[in-house]
A and B are shown apart, each in its own frame.
Chain A
Amino acid sequence: MAPTTPERTTERGRIRISGFDPDVVASREPLSSWTPELEATEGKGRLEYAWERFKRNRLALFGTGVIVFMVLLAVFARPIELPDSLPVLAGQVIQPFSLAPVSPGTQDLINAHNPPTLENLAAWPPSPLGIFGTDWAGRDLFSRVIYGGRWSLSIGFIAVAVALFIGIPLGSIAGYYGGKIDEAIMRVVDMLYAFPFIVLAIAVIAILGRGYWELVLALVAVGWLPYARIIRGEILSVKENEYVAAAKALGATDRMIIIRHILPNAMAPVIVQATLSVGTIVLAAAALGFIGLGLSPASAEWGVMLNVEQDSIARGRWWAGVFPGLAIFTFVMAINLLGDGVRDAFDPQGDRTGSGGMR
């Protein structure tokens, strides 16, 4: 039997569903014991997921371990006393441990025991008395390197923290308000970016003079730029989210919106950048120390130690340059491993690496 072509129609609504009563569906006997449930059984924030991914990254854990180790070495290198300026607690020892065998300033450490050669007045190669040897003034390099972490590491962390403190608010304001404020702030950033990093830092030190806080300030002066740029870019995209409009519709103030809704969702790339740039800042501090613009030549900052021993290898005192250099290298490498780990942890697709596709 040949199929008959059904008659075409232009009439709408010929097919209707009748007798459908939604109340019946709601009140009828359940067809099965299944009840709709939430997708996850336990609440987990994105930070927790990031932490889980980070924990699986062995290189990053190794880097973290090295950094923690170096920080502990620096803290416990010599006892810490409260400054004399404090009224009651002046001179109180708050950290009694002393990992460094001698004070980093003690000179002619080994001379007392062995006659110096003509070429190297007070410097001695590594020996059981001083496993890193001594520098030109006869100071124990092992003590100086672990004590020097106090300068180098603290400069790295403090300079980055201060730079974040400046860069994030400025970048947030520029990104959130836009318009003329944005133009003004970002043109300043562009202008500062036009200077080579080290030249600007040298200029700041040339004006302010040498010293610990002057060095931090010089590094901050250029260090805040990337944070301002990154956070502005992130905010430009985050502020388009409808939850920001919803907060506005609820009557939230701009400050509340930025702090509560925008910044937490825009911070991830800044955290990554900050972690990575701790290493850069330590290198820059060392570089400034090396060209003689860092801390005083007597201080045990790693870059400064390299500077005062510039000619050491030529004179055959390889140990005087190698150990401070190794300290810088180890720390910067460790912080880079950590930074990479943080970046991977915040990247949701990092979850898939190593498992060869979907799980």
Chain B
Amino acid sequence: MSQQGTLHRPMGVSLMSSKEPLLRVEGLKKYYEAENDFLSQLLGRSKTVKAVDGVSLEIGEGETFGLVGESGCGKSTIGRTILQLEEPTAGSVYFRGQDITKLSSEELRNLRTEMQVIFQNPHSSLNPRLTVNDIIGEAFEIHDIGTESERDTRIKELLERVGLNASHANRYPHEFSGGQLQRIGIARALAVDPDFIVCDEPVSALDVSVQAQILNLLEDLQAEFGISYLFIAHDLSVVEHIADRIAVMYLGEIAEYGTPEELFTPPQHPYTEALLSAIPEADPRWDGNRIILEGTVPSPINPPSGCKFHTRCPKVIPPAGYALEQDEWRAILSLRTRIDNGNIPLDQFSGDIATAIREEYDIPDTIPADVDRILSEALEAVAVDDFERASSMLDKELETPCAVHNPAIRSTANGQVACHLFDDRYADGTVYPETTREAN
């Protein structure tokens, strides 16, 4: 056994220049082919799922970067793509200034000692056929680090460091509890002495009491070894506890960046606001107004135009020139989304279909006459099953920047937000031509 590597790198030796962040992600995209069977390939009929659609972020040395969002918004995909477990469709990942998407597999293998990962489900992230000793020691075998006895000592050290008994090294994963398994997973990641760890929902499969222990362990390890974390979670209160900066994701894009303080201080992105309002409060007299978002997350195969959140946003900018209240506008927008998707079962309505639709989908009576006229025309088209005409009519007459332009990230008083509400030019609801927006 040769000794190509050493177990410990001397602390404080930094290979990077002072300005460059440890990790920089630029315009990362990851698309998957859906319906990827042989026949549809032959027919050239494949669909793409845009799991991650142009994400940029920077993580500094010793920093914890929180990434939150609901299930299926692409947060785990970002983590895996950064680690090159999945090849990005586009974009670059710079680690210490080096674009690791262009590395050869051999160079990438060496880099694996710098970047590690901790997974969500400790029961499936540890091979049930291997002992703890083999699981943690695998890194040493792969990278040919240390002699047999050095490895043994190091494994025992790691187990003690993550709060387990060193004598447990010869046991199998099924003999441990979830929290203990997660500690083993952390020990495995620490074995190669990494500078950056992707924590892919490391506590969401654990009991609340164990969650706190694991979070504290992660913080202690960060303080001791100066590790940077990309902390992926769907629980804002967990991220608030551990992260230095947070990014909120929606449908493959980042909606808002900021420190926890910035994120929790209004004004925020409407999505962040809704997420924050859903954090439970242990106060029997608390009566917060929880914002309930309409509908479900749209399919990433066919995401909405413009701002991807506009189909559910409670604060969509009303079209210019109409005196629409927000709730009226929201009701019309929801109906419009249904019409766009052809999601109105016409055969279930009887009598005057237009009126029945208004009743069924709770269109308020109070909407201004000019808007009402457009809506009536559109509903007439729907009644004769011409969804396309109705859809294009509503799109043209009731045009909102939210449905046309994809908002860029803008700096605000509290962090950076991708929302037209923070863009003064859209204040009156006028849709500027694309060129003006690009020029900005």
Contact = CB atoms under 8 A, between A and B. Distances in A.
Interface of A: 6-15, 22, 38-40, 43-46, 183, 241-243, 245-252, 256, 260-261, 264-265
A250 B128 CA distance: 17
A153 B126 CA distance: 40
A242 B125 contact: yes
A9 B285 contact: yes
Contacts of B125: 241-243, 245-246
Contact of A43 (B117, B128, B171, B288): B171
B437 interface: no
Nearest to A45: B172
A265 B128 contact: yes
B286 A250 contact: no
Contacts of A38: 168, 171, 175-176, 180
Given A7-B285, A46-B128, A247 B172 contact: no
Given A11-B286, A43-B171, A265-B127, A250 B138 contact: yes
Interface stretch (B108-116, B323-331, B409-417, B427-435): B108-116
Given A39-B177, A243-B124, A250 B172 contact: no
Given A246-B117, A246-B188, A45 B129 contact: yes
A13 B143 CA distance: 49
A8 B139 contact: no
Given A38-B171, A245-B119, A15 B282 contact: yes
A105 B400 CA distance: 96
Contacts of A43: 131, 170-172, 175
A251 B124 CA distance: 19
A189 to B, nearest CB: 14
Given A40-B175, A43-B170, A242-B124, A9 B142 contact: no
Interface residues of B, number: 49
Interface string B255-295: 00000000000000000000000000111111111000000
Contacts of A15: 282-283
Contacts of B108: 251
Contact of B119 (A11, A242, A251): A242
B286 A246 contact: no
Contacts of B286: 8-12, 14
21 contacts: A9-B283, A10-B287, A10-B289, A11-B286, A12-B283, A12-B288, A15-B282, A183-B38, A241-B125, A241-B127, A242-B120, A242-B125, A243-B127, A245-B125, A248-B85, A249-B85, A250-B116, A250-B192, A251-B113, A261-B127, A264-B127
B222 interface: no
B405 interface: no
A14 B281 CA distance: 9
A265 B129 CA distance: 7
Q: Is the interface of A mostly helix, strand, loop or mixed?
A: loop
Nearest to B139: A250
Interface string B166-195: 001011101111001000010010001000
Interface in B135-160: 138-139, 142-143
Q: Is the interface of B mostly helix, strand, loop or mixed?
A: loop
Contacts of A9: 283, 285-287
B80 A251 contact: no
Contacts of A40: 171, 174-175
The 8 closest A-B pairs by CB, nearest first: A251-B112, A242-B125, A8-B287, A251-B109, A242-B119, A40-B175, A243-B127, A264-B129
A257 to B, nearest CB: 10
B433 to A, nearest CB: 42
A256 B139 CA distance: 12
B229 to A, nearest CB: 15
B80 A245 contact: yes
A9 B282 CA distance: 12
Nearest to A8: B287
A255 to B, nearest CB: 12
A12 B115 CA distance: 38
B118 to A, nearest CB: 9
A160 B174 CA distance: 33
B164 to A, nearest CB: 10
A13 B264 CA distance: 13
Nearest to A262: B127
Given A246-B119, A260-B138, 6 more contacts: A6-B284, A14-B285, A44-B172, A249-B85, A251-B142, A256-B142
A15 B280 CA distance: 12
B276 to A, nearest CB: 9
B83 interface: yes
Contact of A6 (B85, B170, B216, B285): B285
B176 A249 contact: no
Contacts of A44: 172
Given A10-B288, A38-B171, A250-B192, A241 B113 contact: no
Contacts of B177: 39
Most buried by A among B85, B121, B216: B85
A46 B116 CA distance: 29
B117 A245 contact: yes
A249 B112 contact: yes
A264 B128 CA distance: 9
A48 to B, nearest CB: 10
B80 A39 contact: no
Contacts of A241: 124-125, 127
Contacts of B143: 251
Nearest to B188: A246
Contacts of A246: 117, 119, 125-126, 185, 188
A264 B127 CA distance: 10
Interface string B60-90: 0000000000000000000010010100000
Nearest to B282: A15
Given A9-B286, A38-B175, A40-B175, A243 B126 contact: yes
Contacts of A46: 128-129
Contacts of A45: 129, 172
Nearest to B80: A245
Contacts of A265: 127-129
A90 B403 CA distance: 89
B124 to A, nearest CB: 5
B175 A247 contact: no
Contacts of B124: 241-243
Nearest to B164: A38
Nearest to A241: B124
